[in-house]
Amino acid sequence: MLTALGADAVPVRRERELDRIAGLVIPGGESTVMDKLSRAFGLREPLRARIAAGMPVYGTCAGLIMLSDRVLDALPDQQTLGGLDVTVRRNAFGNQTDSFETDLDVALFDGPPVHAAFIRAPVVEEVGPAAEAISVLDDGRVVAVRQGTLLGTSFHPEITGETRFHEYFLTLL
């Protein structure tokens, strides 16, 4: 998605690669594995420092979990990178077969609603005073937040071809 929007996107797997980036997208996947790998490869503390220093980061689904300050239903030793003053609940919508798509209004964007795909997605249970909810489901559950240069969504905009979140992220760089 970032490359299609004209950005020079590079993978980051080692601490030395952090010097090559101005911002980071943490994708969907499995947050417990991301946590373990970030610690095993010595990325957790350097990433926490860069986030605290204001590096723009966009987390989708598991990436939102990684950016969250607090996680419900986490494994006992699970850690996050933190930075977003939110509490999230892992797998809040159920398992893979409970995945769904819906249209969302997003406070950041004019134009048509965002068509969003939720796959074993987290939900934001609590938005702290430093963060801002930017999209909610019809039932009021928060599914997109921002705080300074941090952006998080429970869903995967890249799956539905939605570019506005990534475009917004690039303006933060």
Domain residue ranges of the chain, discontinuous segments joined by +:
15-171
15 carries an active-site annotation? no
The catalytically annotated residue of 15, 17, 61, 162 is: 61
Residue 119, pLDDT score: 94
Residue 97, pLDDT score: 86
Chain-centroid distance, C-alpha 60: 3
Architecture of the CATH domain 15-171: 3-Layer(aba) Sandwich (3.40)
Phi/psi for 171 (5° steps) reads -70, -15
- Residue 58 has a CB neighbour count (10 Å cut-off) of 26
Residue 9, pLDDT score: 96
Question: Which strand (E) or helix (H) includes residue 166?
Answer: helix 164-171
Closest CA to 171 of 20, 22, 32, 61: 22
Give the pairing of strands 84-89 and 123-127. antiparallel
126 carries an active-site annotation? no
Alpha carbon separation from 25 to 2, 22, 48, 51, 54 (Å, rounded): 9, 11, 14, 12, 14
Residue 79, pLDDT score: 97
The catalytically annotated residue of 17, 156, 162, 166 is: 156
The catalytically annotated residue of 30, 158, 162, 166 is: 158
Residue 96, pLDDT score: 85
166 carries an active-site annotation? no
Give CA–CA dist 52/148, Å, rounded. 11
pLDDT in tens, the chain (173 residues): 999 999 999 999 999 999 999 999 999 999 999 999 999 999 999 999 999 999 999 999 999 999 999 999 999 999 999 999 999 999 999 888 899 999 999 999 999 999 999 999 999 999 999 999 999 999 999 999 999 999 999 999 999 999 999 999 999 99
Residue 80, pLDDT score: 98
